[in-house]
Homo-oligomer: A and B are copies of this chain.
Amino acid sequence: MPSAAALAPGVLAAQRRAIARALTAVENGLPGAADLVDALYPSTGRAWRIGITGPPGAGKSTLTNRLVGAFREAGKTVAVVAVDPSSPFTGGAILGDRVRLADRVDDDGVFVRSLAARGALGGLAEAAEAACDVLDAAGFDVVLLETVGVGQGEIDVAEAADTVLVVLVPASGDAVQAMKAGLMEVADVFCVNKADHPEASAIVRALRQMLHLRGGDAPAPVVVKTSALNGDGVAGLVDALGAHRQRLAADWEGTRAERLRRRVRRLVEAAWRRAFWTSERREGLTRALEEVDGEERAPHALAARVLGAE
C-alpha cells in the first residue's frame, strides 16, 4: 500500500477523491496517516470547526442539514463529519454517508462523511481532529462535526472544535441531563430544538438561569430556540455561532496553539501506551497475577510491581 502521505497534494488541490481517501487513512490509522496529517497541518487554521452534540433524539442531524443550507446560502463551503463512536460489532457508521444530505449530492461545496475511528492513532479525538485538518487543508470554510448516538463522543468532539453547539429538546429532563454529562462546560452555544414544544420557553429560561449562576469570567454561552424541522430560529442560531467565532478571532493563534498542545500530549501518551505494553511486559503482568494467590492480590500493589520492574 502506498503511503497515505502521497495524498497531500490532492487534498490541497481539493480533489474529492483524494479527500475521501485521506479521511479513510486518518480514520483507520493507515500507513503514512501521521505523515499526511503533519504535511497538511501548516495549511490548516482557516476553517471554522463547529462541534454539534447533545442527547439522542434531539434533532442534531436535521439541525446540521439546516446549518449546511444556511452556510451555503451565505456562500461558504461546508464539510460535515458525523462522528460515530463505533464498535467492532456494528462495524462503523449506521447512518451511511449516502442516506444523508441526499438533496445536496450534486453540490460541490458540500462534503459529507461519517467517521468511526476504529483504528485511529490516538483514538476518536485525534481522528476527529485529523479529519478536520484534512477538510480544512482542502479549503472548506466550515466543518460541522456532529456526534451520533449516545455518549462517548461529546468531549472528543469538543476538543476538536472551535465552537461547540449543544442541542437539547424540551423533554425527558434533557436540560438536567446535559448538566450531568458535563455538556455545560463544553458548550459555547445552546440550542433548544423543537421550539413549539409547550415547555421550550421554560427550558430556555432554566438554562439561562443555570448559566448565569455559573459565574466566572468567561462569557456565558448563548441559548437560542430552533425548530429544525421547519427552519424557525436557524438564522438566530447562525448569528449566535458567528458571535462566538468573532470572539475567538481575537486570539485565534493562541486558541490554536493551546489545542495543538493538548493534542501533542495526547499523541505522546498514545504512543507511549503502544510502546509500553510489549509482549514481555504483558507476560510480566500475567506472571505477577499468577504468582500471588487470592489472599495477597491487591490492585495497587500489583500496579506498583509492574511499574517498579522497569
Interface residues of A (CB under 8 A from B): 34-35, 37-39, 41-42, 45, 55-57, 84-90, 94, 148-155, 171-174, 176-185, 214, 257, 260-261, 263-265, 267-269, 271-273, 276-277, 285-286, 288-289, 294-304, 306-307
Contacts and interface: CB of A to CB of B under 8 A. Distances in A.
B264 A303 contact: yes
A304 to B, nearest CB: 8
A134 to B, nearest CB: 13
A299 to B, nearest CB: 5
B85 A181 contact: yes
A177 B180 CA distance: 20
Contacts of A260: 289, 297, 299, 302
Copies in the complex: 2
B303 A277 contact: no
The secondary structure that dominates the A interface is helix
10 contacts: A35-B300, A38-B298, A56-B172, A149-B180, A149-B181, A150-B178, A150-B180, A151-B154, A260-B297, A268-B307
Most buried by B among A149, A179, A263, A299: A299
Contacts of A153: 151
A206 to B, nearest CB: 13
